[in-house]
């Protein structure tokens, strides 16, 4: 049998000895059972057991992160909850290069063990067989740049607002305005997919007519990410609706259709897949539960996400700027020596967030989305787009935005309205 293995890194918290807890984890997710059964031979264990690769002690705490853990019997005095970094490895031949079965194996029942009071999947290292199977992003950063013909700066984009409720005719006007403004990228809100009051088919028609008309006049065709999130068969029909109308990008809520749904879409999609990560908070906001973005984004990229949402600097969400920066760096760190996804910065963004984004992330390979920051710009949408580009020009040149704003009125207006 193959010697290849999957490596999974966890942070755990346990009232037990860390080594013991790590062994319980390995047993639960491979050959263990609560009572010895016939057929559980040494040879079978040797071939199929998960192995504890390393255990590294971290701090101790006196209060458990999660309820329901059972301390060892006979423990006296106040219970200590030991935190540690645990690496397990699993034989690839237990799983095969299958993301759904990988999830059942590296995550599976671990969060439910009573021996643990906290557990988080931090990172994954996968054999090359996964690359051969899933192929990764079809476009990634390079392919996306080529489609919109924008280089050496971020793609400037926006989310159609209001998020929900525009009729196809209202949407037509919004898109016309944005396309004429010279924007690189527009996306649907994740709340707006194929709603009865404005079916995708009608939205696609209105949007693409406007985008194509502007492209004919200006030579610039904006990329529009249509939210095609839906049941599996409808997903395929929605995709066809988009590409048959000349659409050049589709968006999905990754956690709504599952990684398996994204992998399915990747098989037939001939346009970039814009990945929205709504619902991700449930998987990550408790620091001793769920998953670290580092592990999550690797799986997203593997199944074919070309653009991946990472929140933005000073966003309206709970996430710290440090965490956002780390997420962006994760997405642009090559996987299997290739495979990058374009990180998407959004939420509370405007021209003024370019500087700190560039300084902290040290890249222009991002999509920078502003909703109100563009559409709500006092000089109008075109000025909004210009202000964003100027914000990045300043950042890349190492000039403060206040200084740059002296000769760039749109940036000045943005600062006056949005800076707090």
Binding region for a second copy (CB under 8 A) out of 30-38, 138-146, 201-209, 213-221? 30-38
Give me the residue label for tokens 């029942």: 109
- Residue 314 has what DSSP assignment? T
Contact 187, 155 (CB under 8 A): no
Residue of 13, 188, 319, 410 interacting with a second copy (CB under 8 A)? 319
Report in angstroms how near the CB of residue 343 gets to a second copy at its nearest.
17
CA dist 312 and 366 (Å) reads: 11
Phi first, then psi: give them for residue 5, nearest 5 degrees.
-135, 155
> Beta 250-253 vs 223-227: how paired, if at all?
parallel
Residue of 260, 356, 396, 399 interacting with a second copy (CB under 8 A)? 260
Type and span of the H or E element at 81 = strand 81-91
Binding region for a second copy (CB under 8 A) out of 41-49, 178-186, 335-343, 398-406? 41-49
Binding region for a second copy (CB under 8 A) out of 194-202, 210-218, 240-248, 361-369? 194-202
Taking CA atoms, 310 is separated from 296, 298, 326, 361, 389, in Å, by 12, 13, 9, 12, 20
Residue of 174, 206, 250, 401 interacting with a second copy (CB under 8 A)? 174
Residue of 61, 243, 289, 332 interacting with a second copy (CB under 8 A)? 289
Site string for a second copy, 51-70 (x = CB under 8 A): ---------------xxxxx
Binding to a second copy (CB under 8 A) within 347-386 occurs at 347-348, 371-373, 375-376
Tell whether residue 114 is a contact of a second copy (CB under 8 A). Answer: yes
Report in angstroms how near the CB of residue 307 gets to a second copy at its nearest.
17
Question: And the tokens for 212?
Answer: 């194509």
Report in angstroms how near the CB of residue 47 gets to a second copy at its nearest.
6
Tell whether residue 322 is a contact of a second copy (CB under 8 A). Answer: no
Report in angstroms how near the CB of residue 216 gets to a second copy at its nearest.
25
Pick from 350, 353, 285, 295: nearest CA to 319:
285
Contact 375, 387 (CB under 8 A): no
Pick from 89, 94, 103: nearest CA to 291:
103
Number of residues that bind a second copy (CB under 8 A): 104
């Amino acid at each position: 049998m193959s010697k290849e293995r999957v490596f999974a890194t966890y942070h755990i918290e346990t009232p037990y000895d860390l080594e013991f807890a790590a062994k319980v984890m390995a047993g639960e997710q491979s050959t263990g059972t609560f009572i010895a059964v016939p057929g559980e031979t040494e040879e079978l264990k040797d071939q199929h057991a998960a192995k504890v690769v390393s255990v590294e002690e971290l701090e101790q705490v006196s209060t458990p992160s999660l309820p329901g853990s059972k301390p060892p019997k006979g423990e006296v005095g106040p219970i200590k909850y030991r935190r540690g970094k645990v690496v397990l490895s699993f034989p690839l031949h237990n799983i095969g290069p299958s993301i759904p079965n990988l999830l059942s194996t590296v995550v599976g029942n671990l969060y439910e063990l009573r021996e643990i009071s906290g557990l988080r999947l931090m990172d994954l290292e996968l054999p090359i067989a996964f690359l051969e199977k899933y192929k990764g992003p079809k476009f990634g950063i390079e392919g996306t740049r080529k489609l919109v013909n924008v280089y050496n700066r971020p793609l400037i984009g926006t989310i159609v607002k209001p998020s929900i409720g525009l009729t196809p005719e209202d949407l037509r006007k919004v898109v016309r305005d944005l396309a004429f403004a010279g924007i690189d990228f527009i996306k649907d809100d994740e709340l707006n997919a194929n709603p009865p009051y404005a079916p995708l088919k009608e939205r696609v028609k209105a949007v693409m007519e406007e985008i194509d008309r502007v492209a004919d006049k200006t030579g610039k065709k904006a990329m529009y990410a249509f939210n095609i999130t839906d049941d599996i068969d409808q997903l395929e029909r929605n995709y066809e609706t988009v590409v048959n109308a000349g659409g050049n990008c589709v968006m999905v809520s990754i956690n709504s259709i599952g990684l398996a749904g994204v992998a399915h879409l990747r098989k037939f999609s001939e346009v970039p897949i814009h990945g929205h990560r709504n619902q991700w908070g449930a998987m990550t906001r408790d620091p001793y539960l769920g998953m670290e973005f580092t592990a999550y984004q690797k799986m997203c990229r593997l199944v074919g996400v070309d653009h991946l949402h990472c929140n933005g600097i000073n966003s309206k969400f709970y996430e710290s700027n440090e965490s956002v920066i780390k997420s962006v760096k994760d997405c642009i760190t090559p996987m299997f020596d290739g495979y990058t996804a374009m990180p998407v910065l959004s939420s509370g963004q405007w021209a003024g967030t370019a500087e700190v984004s560039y300084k902290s992330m040290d890249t222009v390979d991002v999509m920078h989305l502003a909703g109100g920051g563009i559409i709500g710009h006092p000089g109008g949408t075109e000025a909004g787009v210009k202000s964003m580009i100027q914000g990045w020009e300043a950042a890349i040149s190492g000039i403060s935005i206040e200084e740059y704003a002296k000769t760039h009125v749109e940036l000045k207006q943005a600062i006056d309205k949005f800076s707090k």
